[in-house]
Amino acid sequence: MTGAPGSGRTTLATQMAVGRILSGIPAEKVLVISASRTAAARMRQDLSTQLRSTASQPLARSAASTAFSIVRAWAVANGEPPPVLVSGPEQDAVLAELLEGHLAGEGVAPRWPETLPVESLQLTGFRAELRDLLMRAAEYGLSPEELTELGQRYEYQPWIAGGMVYGEYLDVTAQRWATPDSGQRFDAAGIVDSAANLLALWHSEYGDNPHGELPPPPRWETVIVDDYQEATAATVRLLHVLQDAGAELLLFGDPDVAVQTFRGAQPALMARAGQPRGSELGAFGAERVVLDRVWGQTPELRTITQAVAPVVGAVGLVSHRNAPSALDATETAPTGAEIAIATSPARELAHAAYELRRAHVVDGLDWREMAVIVRSGAQADEARRALTELGVPVLDDAAEVLLRSEPAVLPLLTALDYAAHGALDIDAALALLRSPLGGLDSVKLRRLRRALWLHLRHEELEQSVDDAILELLQQPNLVRLPAAIRRPVERLRAMLEAAHTAAQEPLASAETVLWAAWHATGLARNWQEQALAGGSAGRQADRDLDAVVALFAAAARFVERMPGASMSAFVNQVRSENLPADSLAARATGQSGVAVLTPPAAAGSRWEFVCVLGVQADVWPDVRLRDTVLGAQRLTEVLTGRASGLDRDYAAARRDVLHDEARSFLLAVSRARTRLLVSAVEDPDSDLLPSAFIQVLTTAQVPVTEAAGIGDPRRVPVSLRELVAVLRRSSLDDADPQRRQASEQLLAALAQHAVPGAAPQNWNGTAELSTTEALAGPDDPVYITPSRLDSFITCPLRWALEQAGGTQAPSIQQSVGTLIHELAAELPAGTAEELLAKLDEKWPSLGMPSGWVGIVKRADVEKSVQRLAQYLGEGRSVVSVEEPFDLEIDRARIRGTADRIERTDSGALRVVDFKTGTYAKNEDIPRNSQLGVYQLAIERGCFESEHTSAGAALVYLGGPNKGYKQMPQLALSEDEDPQWVENRIAQTADQMADSTFLARKNSACPRCPVRRSCPLQSEGGRVF
Ligand code: SF4
């Protein structure tokens, strides 16, 4: 039965299965074979709903699952242990080991074509091609020797070498897993062929001796194959055996939407089913029926599907393409198709997210009625992440994700590694801290580094910050850390310790150690609560939990299959996996969310609203030839008789690839029942252009629009956050009192439902002042540091907020400044060589990142040290360095330290303050408070008996000048107002004790750490 997308093939297949069972055929004698395990799960659900009963065995299976049930039954019938299916990642890991061995001169010595560089044998891409070749060989039932022979016959080296590796692969897998209690192992590709052979053998042996020890083989009366266009040669061989054993075959398909040709699907087999039975592979003597109505698409969308269909090359059957839509043209609103062109990939995703949310919120469409289809798995991952962040709940497709790329899995693998080796390196430690288990973002990580750096300084410990981080994670430590970074560190430390302890147990395995590590994090409950709370954080927690559960399942499988293998072997296996783990297990279909899929995963499903994203030139269609290296596709062509030799007609090969790409696009656009959005990015500067498929749609009169971004007036609020924002704006709009009142009422209603941001009490700027009290009483002393005096004068508000904790973590620049001050203090007359040697010693303590950032910074610091050496080498007389002082002026208590005190020829003292930042303005130096305070300290006798100040100076060691730059201040006694500094201190102390502080705009505002709380700044204005 051939039918266009939406013609009801799957529905009819379901109904025929139900009809057969209701007419009296036992349910276990009816088998439905679906194209994938997801499609089989859906089919099972439909069947059990309609039959209102469950069967003793699954009614619907994938071909591999059907084959597995046959080989399992055969093993049971012969008293053997049950067989095991080798997962894709396991296969890949074995091939990687074999190829590595060949490079080291071990094992067989396959001779690959000379055009293949030796290094390429270690590439994932090469293994993917090799795996593909071996799977195709297994699919067609070729033995290793037969593959090699075929290579010799066609003088094609990759098949000769591939046959040798195939033989070695089978030997190694048989040996590796050969224990008395483990059954035979099968690859997913080879299992269908093996099942066909076993079943034929079983029938023949049983037929010869029906009363012998062998029980009767499994037999079905009706076998229904849905999406027959995805059938491989092995599946067809199995169908022949089933038909020969008396089964009625019902085949449903559409060759135009085959999307598994890369796995060996042969859509052309559909046309062959009507050939006289047994005349060739796939000739079943079938009667042909064409479904002549389309029920799954509106007339408008059906026209679009019909416009795309001719791009797919015909493989014998085309009459089904003419079927018109049977739906009413005005059925539901909104309907139709639209092409959206965006200016960037981010905008494309934002547009899709908006349209999905709008369809849910405004049109009332359930999330599960919508899907996003993209061409590749990588695009699907990206779309899933972006849509989740944009507030669209998406269904997780855990089976498509590699465990090793799951952020929640990485720290647990590190814990296993640590348990195995008892050591941690700094990269792993930093990755742990940044992981979901650590939870430190780059700002918090910087805070941690600074806190450790200050601790090491304070304790005078000669240890680098990196070493301190490693120590912190491995031993209880006395470093006092802020709570926000202390807890994650303690959690990770507990995890590592628990893993290490568990690994010492006599029966320790990857599974037991993993459990101990996970348990020690104590995150299970937190994540569970977050997951249940919903929202994007909830979805992330949900996904993290799923990933952890999948890791436990992988560990359990590993321990079961490789008893006694080391923990490192498990870690290596997970880390080297390049394919998502395959499983025959049925998967849940009950979640609510938007499905984000590739065309093969979307096959067999239909949604009201479908977004097809990323339809870019060179991406979809991607007409690069798929198997230019090892000829897996050529093998299929030769074995199916589509090619007589190996001389490739490249134009024809490219045409085949284009047809495959067109099939997947056709499948994607035909998944929409009532509404279709197709989008692409047009940004010639980034070489991003819409695909030729977009052109095909425009010829079918699909309108093109520009993708709307955030803030576009065409957008209506489609999330509570947006709605609250709009209402709050209009509730303050005096120009429209009616609208204002309606907004207030709606806000009040939302506030009653605790919608965040709706209640005015929570709005910034509406809270009462917490206090109007002054910072200090009238007679209380005010403590001031010299450097703070000027910062108060520059901006009192910044000073006040910084006093209250609004400071930034010390920057790298500040740490470098402290280091240079230390050099100047330790070597007050140091030469350039001595200072640079000291710098060498102290440099690691900065914990500077390696790479070019570290190299550039180091070169910069060395220049400053040279300038310092220049200053120190000019023969000035030094009285003291880092000299503390204490000064009292009225209520002000000034405490500080002078970098360097020098004696001039006249015997007077001069204070020098070293700076590594940008130069001060010349006009500010005469009234620089810091220098003034130092001078006052000299005059008040804070340093020694000499009370005469010869002035003070800022000496800049950074900046653009080749040498240092000195900016001197006159002696107070020579100033026209010798009392200026005393007056300033007294006045400032009073202002500092006040209860109000002015914000004063200045040149440092752009770098101000409290600008988000400053009423003069746009980002801070909302606070007051
Ligand atoms: S942004 Fe400028 S005006 Fe505002 S607090 Fe900071 S320094 Fe003062």
Q: For the segment 775-795, what is each residue's pLDDT rounded down to a tens digit?
A: 998 889 999 999 889 999 999
Q: Could you tell which of 1002, 1012, 1018, 1019 is best to mutate to test the pocket of ligand 1, judged by most ligand atoms within 8 Å of the CB?
A: 1002
Residue type, 577: E
CA distances for 380 relative to 374, 522, 658, 793, angstroms: 6, 32, 21, 56
In angstroms, what CA-CA distances link 282 with 228, 237, 698?
Answer: 11, 8, 38
Sheet holding 704-706, edge to edge: 595-597, 370-373, 607-612, 672-681, 336-342, 704-706
pTM, rounded to two decimals = 0.60
| CA separation, residue 87 to residues 65, 91, 399, 582, 973 (Å) | 13, 6, 12, 5, 87
Q: E strands, 457-615, where?
A: 595-597, 607-612
Mutation test residue for ligand 1: of 791, 998, 1011, the one with most atoms within 8 Å of CB = 1011
Q: Best mutation site among 996, 1008, 1018 for ligand 1, i.e. most ligand atoms within 8 A of its Cβ?
A: 1008
Provide the pLDDT for residue 753.
84
**Site to substitute for ligand 1 among 790, 1014, 1018, most atoms within 8 A of C-beta:** 1014
Q: 6, 297 in Cβ contact below 8 A?
A: yes
Nearest atom (ligand 1) to Cα of 1005:
2
C-alpha of residue 1013 to centroid of ligand 1, in Å: 9
| Best CA proximity match to 900, nearest among 933, 925, 934, 926 | 934
Helix 9-22, helix 37-51: angle, nearest 10 = 50
Which atom of ligand 1 sits closest to the CA of residue 1013? Answer: 5
CA distance 158 to 631: 7
* Residue 706: φ, ψ to 5°: -95, 130
Alpha-carbon distance of 898 to 790, in angstroms, equals 16
Ligand 1 atom with the shortest distance to the CA of 1015: 4
Distance (Å, whole) CA 793 – CA 991: 10
361 and 718 Cβ atoms separated by less than 8 Å: yes
What phi and psi values does residue 953 have, to the nearest 5 degrees? -150, 145
Whether omega for the bond prior to residue 267 falls within 30 degrees of 0, making it cis, is no
Using 50, 70 and 90 to split pLDDT, how confident is the model at 439? confident
Tens of pLDDT, residue by residue over 419-429, are 888 888 888 89
Residue 372's DSSP bridge partners are 596, 611
The CA 997 to ligand 1 mean position distance, Å, reads 11
Q: Judge residue 32's burial from the number of C-beta atoms within 10 Å of its C-beta, 0-12 exposed, 13-18 middle, 19 or more buried.
A: buried
Going from the Cα of 1010 to the center of ligand 1, the distance in angstroms, rounded, reads 7
Q: Check if the beta carbon of residue 891 is closer than 8 Å to that of residue 993.
A: yes
Atom nearest to 1004 CA in ligand 1: 7
Place 563 in a pLDDT band, splitting at 50, 70 and 90.
Answer: low
- CA distances (Å), origin 10, targets 296, 314, 605: 11, 22, 9
pLDDT band per the 50, 70, 90 thresholds, residue 375: very high
Of 683, 668, 687, residue with least CA distance to 613: 668
Residues with Cβ within 8 Å of residue 478, at least 6 apart in sequence: none
Which amino acid residue places its CA nearest to atom 7 of ligand 1? 1005
| Spatial separation of the C-alpha atoms in residues 959 and 448, rounded to whole Å | 29
Of 296 and 900, the structure prediction assigns the larger pLDDT to 900
Contact yes or no for 663/325 (Cβ under 8 A): no
Mean pLDDT of 581-601: 63
Q: What is the dihedral of CA 586, 592, 597, 600, to 10 degrees?
A: 40
- Rounded to whole angstroms, the Cα distance separating 252 from 233 reads 16
Give the CA distances from residue 27 to residues 114, 222, 882, in Å, rounded to whole numbers and listed in that order. Answer: 57, 10, 92
pLDDT value, residue 97 = 84
Distance 817 CA to ligand 1 centre (A): 24
CA distance 258 to 471: 57
Cis amide linkage into residue 334, ω under 30° from 0: yes
**Enclosing H/E stretch for 782:** strand 782-784
**Residue ID of nearest Cα to ligand 1 atom 5:** 798
Cβ 672 vs Cβ 172: under 8 Å: no
Cα 164 off chain centre by: 38
pLDDT for 968 equals: 96
Question: How many A from CA of 810 to the centre of ligand 1?
Answer: 19
* Residue pLDDT, tens place only, 202-247: 998 887 777 777 888 999 999 999 999 988 888 999 999 999 999 9
> Predicted confidence band at 180 (pLDDT cuts at 50, 70, 90)?
low
Which ligand 1 atom minimizes the distance to the CA of 1011? 1
Q: Could you give phi then psi for residue 106, rounded to 5 degrees?
A: -105, 160
Is pLDDT of 582 > 60?
A: no
CB 843, CB 858: distance < 8 Å: yes
- For ligand 1, pick from 797, 996, 1019 the residue to mutate: most ligand atoms within 8 Å of CB: 797
Q: For residue 795, what are its two tokens?
A: 């901006």
pLDDT tens per residue, range 278-314:
888 889 999 999 888 888 888 888 888 888 888 877 7
Which pair of tokens denotes residue 373?
């289809």
Please state, in angstroms and rounded to a whole number, the distance separating the CA atoms of residues 60 and 31. 6
Give distance in angstroms: CA of 1012 to centre of ligand 1: 9
Alpha helices (H) along 732-809: 737-752, 786-794, 796-803
- For 611, the token pair is 């977004």
CA 287 to chain centre: 50
Give the single-character DSSP code of 251.
E
Lowest mean pLDDT segment, chosen from 36-40, 51-55, 631-635, 973-977: 51-55
- Most ligand 1 atoms within 8 A of CB, residue of 798, 803, 996, 998 to mutate: 798
Q: Which residues pair with 336 in a beta bridge?
A: 675
Higher pLDDT, 833 or 712: 833
pLDDT at 56: 67
pLDDT band per the 50, 70, 90 thresholds, residue 584: very low
Ligand 1 centre distance from Cα of residue 1011 (Å)? 6
Looking at ligand 1, which residue's alpha carbon is closest to its atom 2?
1005
Answer whether 68's CB lies under 8 Å from 169's CB.
Answer: no
Of 427, 514, 411, 499, the residue nearest 470 (C-alpha):
427
DSSP code of residue 755: -
Dump pLDDT digits (tens) for 655-678.
778 888 898 999 999 999 989 999
pLDDT higher than threshold 70 for residue 851: no
* 438-442: long-range contacts, CB 8 A cutoff, minimum separation 24: 438/411, 438/488, 438/489, 438/491, 438/492, 439/488, 440/485, 440/488
pLDDT band at 627 (very low <50, low <70, confident <90, very high): low
795 CA to middle of ligand 1, Å? 6
- 47 within 8 A of 249, measured Cβ to Cβ: no
Residue nearest to atom 4 of ligand 1 (CA): 1014
Atom in ligand 1 nearest the alpha carbon of residue 1010: 6
CA dihedral 149, 155, 156, 161 (to 10 degrees): 50
Q: Yes or no: say if 661 and 623 are a contact pair by the CB < 8 Å rule.
A: yes
The type of residue at 548 is: V
Quickly tell me which residue has 């439902």 as its tokens: 753
Q: Is the predicted pLDDT of residue 585 greater than 50, yes or no? A: no
**Confidence (pLDDT) at 381:** 81
Q: How far apart are the first and last CA of the chain?
A: 71
Using alpha carbons, list the distances in angstroms from residue 738 to 423, 735, 742, 886: 69, 9, 6, 65
The pLDDT assigned to 425 comes to 87
State the pLDDT at residue 608. Answer: 92
Give buried/exposed letters for 576-595 (b at 16+ CB in 10 A, else e).
ebbbbbbebebeeeeeebbb
Residue ranges lining ligand 1, Cβ < 6 Å: 795, 797-798, 999-1002, 1004-1005, 1008, 1010-1011, 1014, 1016-1017
